[in-house]
Amino acid sequence: MRVICAGDCGVDRYVGLGLDRPGGITLNVAANARETFAPGDEVLVLTALGTDAESRLVRAALARLRLDGEIAERPGRTSVQYIDLDPSGEKRFLRYEAGVLAGWRPGDRQLRLVAAADLLVMPVYRQIHGFFETMLSAPCGGLRAVDFLDLSDVDDPAGFVTRCAHRIDVAFFGLDASHFALIDDLERIARRHHRLFVVTLGSHGSLALGGPERLACPSVAAPRVVDTTGAGDSFAAAFLAEYWRSRDVPASLRSGAEHAARTIQHIGAFPWP
């Protein structure tokens, strides 16, 4: 089993804590996939890093987590997400700098790696749309999973998801429980294209859309909430690990909820010294 996590590996900069730690959606998913998939499964990353001090922190994390893959080095900056935490542990994203990843496009060698993947996982957001479109159009022999985040940077969310739907198998969305109309739109798209869409709703649990009935799963209470950063990424990794093994959607939702509850009890999406 070969899992390819493609996209942003960078630095999460906690401004209130004065702390830099490795992060980014793709690194978060890969780190949690390393934990939730079977020990013999291969988890690889596909990303671009700069030549700055931040890239050394990311490379240290990749080595410590035993994550290999295709890591391109380009002159410039590594991606940085600026984060603030409120007293409840809820994250607030202040600013994102995509760095060299914004202009990088994978070449033939990277695309051959994607073609041999059993599972390709990648995010999409405004700053890396070009990278995403390249990856979306690349041949992939296995399942393709996309994290659409909250779709807040897309003018026509339903239209954008519809345009991508025929090329993906599983999609994740991090929404608010009040987004009734958008969730209904996503359910119609999932059913029309026979796809599995998973919506995470924070403390309100999660939904699986696309089948004859909407499936709901409650969140798992955590003894304490330290940091919600990366909860959706760890949910996606655990969901996909269970879904790959069993194709049992309710069990996959439960696994994702349990893993996310563990994640929010420490800083960042995975333990780091």
Measured distance CA(65)–CA(77) in Å, rounded = 22
Domain range list for the chain: 2-263
CATH of 2-263 among 3.30.9.10, 1.10.230.10, 3.60.21.10, 3.40.1190.20? 3.40.1190.20
163-201 residue pLDDT tens: 999 999 999 999 999 999 999 999 999 999 999 999 999
Type of residue found at 76? G
The span from the CA of 57 to the CA of 61, in Å, is: 6
Collapsing DSSP states into helix, strand and coil, what is residue 64? helix
DSSP-based three-state secondary structure for 207:
strand
Give per-residue pLDDT as tens, 69-127: 999 999 999 999 999 999 999 999 999 999 999 999 999 999 999 999 999 999 999 99
